[in-house]
Chains A and B, each alone.
Chain A
């Protein structure tokens, strides 16, 4: 079973001692040597910005790249609800162990135990540091930090800054980054897109990037490269990801030899604003925190559904006894706060059964009536005012009077570059952090854990572990970007771009991307079957072929060209989508966000197959028209009893 290249490097010893042990083992680089070492960080979200800032503070020379005009635009900024930590400030018997258990269980036993435990361990440091940075977390009247509850937990451990927690944490990391830029330890490259990874002697030594403002292709060298470019959810076209979010940087690493872990694990978030029509460009998330006070329901009677769809009645006119609060009915212990994958599937189940409440039949209600009666409108306004305002802007509905309509949408990808305990990929010197790696969330991520993981990796884990690699590089001179490897990589990038312009077909990149999105949502979405996945692979290949025959890329390379950016990212999305379908086809079990319809219990719950699938699938690229090779990292759980997830009692 053990794979020669897949060494997870988990330290020996009891779970709670592993991180301590590794930290003690890691070689330290002296300040004089740190000054000589260079690190490239790609991406300026929570993971990238915090890593670059911390590495800069330690004395390394850092170059940080982002595709936006400013590091502060990274999509971490849109995270609304909060960040988890095991502080136990609410005295509800929370602990590092409990956060660890909830996260492993929430991930349906498909994450790496040792990484998750470490995540829970450093979670408390994150809150301390962010407060010190001046992040204005919500406070109680006595001046202490406030908390709220999130899905998949029975304690209140989520710290928040209104509905803008991601923004505030990112501004904190961005501020620390700015501090280091001022000191000169970090150099920032905004509007740069990484287009290839450069290897010398099998080690990551630099990147090829395109200056988005001018179109120039440039080379950058370093002693190590860190990928912090987020997830690949935009493969579905419609998702809650930002328009520019893409999987290309990670994908280039995969094509250069880094294994890709669990690509089929994508999170579908239950509370998004439903699709309004074909002109839609993206989906908007309504924070999970709304499930603290909102109750999810559909009518019990089909005739009420029909009347709602025709606009003959309003939701508020349906009496209590005719409402089906289906999450409270099916999962009494957790109710509306079940994990995201479960809430999403339950919504799909009701809509598929014909109870969807809008014209398209793809929406359920999220209702604040009970909460408003209990707490008053002012309290609700204080807690969620900005979300209600955003909802009204988009839908023209006042959610204080009528319930919100929501439906699941693609939100996050748990899969990503395979990394070992040190967050290093299978390419020496190439590290992956935050959403870009696969390690901490297994089959499903709990709410308020993405921010936690991004900052844990960036502030407290990578800056230490990368030292272990760099300690062996102190004799190495600066990477020479005139080396033939750089030359070759740059040439390949330029050829790829020229090839795109040369197609001169009829369709815009967006048009083909929408078609890809439809295939992905239909066959690699909330419910997956063997037949559907096989079909998806054929369809994706067909679309990829069509793309290379019929896309039209306007303008030219040597200028600001958003059409070219879209086309380049889309070219990779076909390949990412195909690998997702392949991975989903291989994983003949249901777990977390991956639901194989053939594998369910009588009650329609996910049926895991621990005997055959308790492993991380790590895919190795084998060339353009060759099938990738599957490697397996077995998952072993020592600190927690493996069990079927139960949110009922």
Chain B
């Protein structure tokens, strides 16, 4: 398969970014989307290491030389595209990418790393952008800084229990339904697709997933109101937006975490707010 790849290039957070277009050829339909990017990058490495090949590739695959070639090199067009990725099994949450206008691409319920080229039309142009959100500054190209999500978790996304102080694991019964629902919420992978998709840049689904997962279990229930208050306060502080119930987050969540968890978060928050 052959594709035109229109990809966001940005040297770092301080510089302005722009789109650059490249061509990739001989892509197997069984290759994953990230493998396609690996191939593009390998191509770009060779364009650097081998100036003759590079002169053919610097502008949409056309030959260029002299000043044009120099400029292309200086602009970093020929450097490999940076993108976050790690497990490539859809679970670590490292991969991101806005592909053809959707978080994690055109398929529902998959992460970018689990997206395969057979889902794209041969010969088409694929547009790739980083997560766009005020809370996620660009590090380079398609890589963004999602440490704000860690900061929210640090504000209260835990049960305050010390190692070695727990009683026997079967001493507190938990109904299967509750455990299953808690697990549904806990399947959030922290990729940030919800934030990137939300028109307000809200992290409510991310927080809702954590608060709800713990609130459903007796172990997490004790702190659940405080947890909700602390995490939401941190979210506001870090420049995320508010929730206006568009449900876009749920639609684009690769793990289909339901917005009912936002409702549970709101209940916990309200309880705390009323107490105040």
Contact = CB atoms under 8 A, between A and B. Distances in A.
Contact of B163 (A145, A176, A243): A176
A138 B179 contact: yes
Contact of B186 (A74, A168, A279): A168
A171 B186 contact: yes
B93 to A, nearest CB: 6
Nearest to A141: B176
A50 B162 CA distance: 11
A31 interface: no
Interface string A111-142: 00000000000000101111111101111111
A131 to B, nearest CB: 4
Given A175-B159, A282-B88, A134 B49 contact: no
Contact of A143 (B80, B156, B176): B176
B202 to A, nearest CB: 19
Contact of B166 (A129, A166, A389, A506): A129
Given A175-B158, A213-B139, A78 B87 contact: yes
Given A78-B89, A393-B110, A190 B150 contact: yes
A562 interface: yes
A165 to B, nearest CB: 11
B102 interface: no
A403 to B, nearest CB: 19
Contact of A75 (B86, B165, B190): B86
A77 B164 contact: no
Contacts of A50: 163
Given A128-B168, A144-B170, A460-B164, A133 B159 contact: yes
Contacts of A244: 86
A73 B140 contact: no
B114 A394 contact: yes
B161 A554 contact: no
A141 B90 CA distance: 30
Interface in B184-215: 186-187, 189-190, 213-214
B118 A396 contact: yes
Interface stretch (A64-72, A491-499, A515-523, A612-620): A64-72
Contacts of A130: 169
Contact of B146 (A69, A87, A554): A69
A231 B210 CA distance: 30
A129 to B, nearest CB: 5
Given A164-B91, A281-B34, A242 B50 contact: no
Contacts of B41: 508
Nearest to A171: B186
B153 interface: yes
Interface string A163-184: 0101110010011101101100
Contact of A277 (B30, B34, B145, B219): B30
Interface in A553-601: 554-555, 559-563
Contacts of A128: 166-169
Interface string A146-167: 0000000000000001101011
A285 interface: yes
Contacts of B187: 162, 164, 167
Contacts of A554: 44-45, 48, 79-80
Contact of A243 (B46, B86, B214): B86
A54 B155 CA distance: 18
A78 B27 CA distance: 27
A11 interface: no
A73 B93 contact: yes
Interface string B72-92: 000010011010111111111
- Taking each of A50, A54, A168, A279, which has the highest tally of chain B beta carbons within 10 Å of its own beta carbon? A279
B220 interface: yes
A628 interface: no
A284 interface: yes
Contacts of A277: 28, 30-31
A506 to B, nearest CB: 5
A507 interface: yes
B124 interface: no
A280 interface: yes
Contacts of B164: 125, 129, 459-460
Contacts of B189: 167
Contact of A552 (B48, B147, B166, B175): B48
Contacts of B220: 134
B241 interface: no
Nearest to B31: A279
A282 B31 CA distance: 11
B116 interface: yes
Contacts of B49: 504-508, 552
Given A69-B145, A72-B190, A560 B82 contact: yes
A73 B163 contact: no
B183 interface: yes
A89 B150 CA distance: 36
A552 B50 CA distance: 10
B237 interface: no
A144 B173 contact: yes
B57 interface: no
A459 B163 contact: yes
A456 to B, nearest CB: 12
A139 B175 contact: yes
B169 A145 contact: yes
B225 interface: no
A190 B189 CA distance: 17
Nearest to A389: B109
B69 to A, nearest CB: 16
A134 B46 contact: no
B35 interface: yes
A57 B114 contact: no
Contacts of A129: 161, 163-164, 166
- Taking each of A138, A243, A504, which has the highest tally of chain B beta carbons within 10 Å of its own beta carbon? A243
Given A136-B217, A460-B164, A131 B169 contact: yes
A134 B153 contact: no
Contacts of B88: 242-243, 281-282, 284
Contacts of B114: 390, 393-394
B130 interface: no
A103 interface: no
B42 A510 contact: yes
Interface in B48-106: 48-50, 76, 79-80, 82, 84-94
Interface of B: 11-12, 27-28, 30-32, 34-35, 38-39, 41-42, 44-46, 48-50, 76, 79-80, 82, 84-94, 109-110, 114, 116, 118, 139-140, 143, 145-147, 149-150, 153-170, 172-176, 179-180, 182-183, 186-187, 189-190, 213-214, 216-217, 219-220
22 contacts: A69-B84, A69-B145, A70-B147, A73-B86, A73-B87, A129-B164, A132-B166, A132-B219, A134-B213, A139-B175, A141-B176, A145-B170, A168-B186, A175-B159, A176-B163, A178-B150, A182-B156, A389-B109, A393-B110, A506-B50, A555-B76, A559-B12
Given A69-B94, A129-B164, A137-B179, 20 more contacts: A70-B147, A70-B190, A72-B150, A87-B170, A128-B166, A131-B169, A131-B219, A139-B179, A176-B161, A181-B154, A213-B139, A394-B116, A396-B116, A506-B49, A506-B50, A508-B46, A552-B49, A554-B45, A554-B80, A555-B79
Interface of A: 50, 53-54, 57, 68-75, 77-78, 87, 89, 125, 127-134, 136-145, 161-162, 164, 166-168, 171, 174-176, 178-179, 181-182, 188, 190, 213, 242-244, 276-277, 279-282, 284-285, 389-390, 393-394, 396, 459-460, 463, 504-508, 510-511, 552, 554-555, 559-563
